[in-house]
Amino acid sequence: MSVHYASKHVNNGCDIKPSAAATKPRVTITGHANEFYTLVMTDPDAPSPSEPSMREWVHWIVTDIPGCSSVTRGREVVEYIGPRPTVGIHRYIIVLFRQMKGAGVVGLDEAAPASRSHFNTRAFAHHFDLGLPVATVYFNAHKEPASRKRHIN
């Protein structure tokens, strides 16, 4: 799995500005063309790293992604929302699972959680028999300072 925000390649632990991640990343998947994958992106530090009472906050879920292709070929179950950290440094984790039962897993296309907060990636994977992750990457982001505009009278 390869993840890019514009020209920035996402490596484990790299810093990405929320403004640079406002739109969906470009994600390419390796694997066999006859296999299908599910991608999950979460923030385990919501609303703050010291008190993550909304852990995990789901930012994106895409299912039925064919191997050797792009996430754009999959089915977006939870629409992408970019990072919006309010306090501290947040980790954003992108996990890729191979769908053990192939495309069109019953219920997976309707897997959108009732709420984005309190999502559990492990329980989600278990419920849909996705097995262990085949790829994962994470990046860090923190609140960007407000732009300072000079007012000249």
> What CATH number is attached to the domain comprising 120?
3.90.280.10
Domain total of the chain: 1
DSSP code, position 82: -
Asked whether residue 104 is domain-assigned, the answer is yes
Kindly state whether residue 150 falls inside one of the protein's structural domains.
no
Residue 78 to residue 116: CA distance in whole angstroms: 9
Quick check: is 153 in a domain?
A: no
Range of the domain at 56: 2-142
| Tens digit of each residue's pLDDT (9 = 90 or more) over 15-74 | 999 999 999 999 999 988 899 999 999 999 999 999 999 999 999 999 999 999 999 999
Please give the pLDDT value at position 146. 75
Is 148 within the bounds of a domain?
no
Residue 81 placed within a domain = yes
Look at residue 147 and tell me if it is in a domain: no
Tell whether 25 is covered by a domain: yes
Please indicate, yes or no, if residue 152 is contained in any of the structural domains.
Answer: no
What CA–CA distance (Å, rounded) separates 36 from 55? 27
Mean pLDDT over the full length of the chain: 91
pLDDT of 11 reads 97
**pLDDT (mean) for 125-147:** 91
Sheet containing strand 89-98, strands side by side? 14-15, 133-142, 89-98, 36-43, 57-66, 75-78
Flag whether pLDDT at 110 surpasses 80. no
- The confidence band for 147, taking pLDDT boundaries of 50, 70 and 90, is low
- For residues 5-38, one letter each, b for 16 or more C-beta atoms within 10 angstroms of the residue's C-beta and e for the rest, the string is beebebeeeeebebebbeebbbbebebeeebbbb
**Distance from C-alpha of 80 to C-alpha of 100, rounded to nearest angstrom:** 24
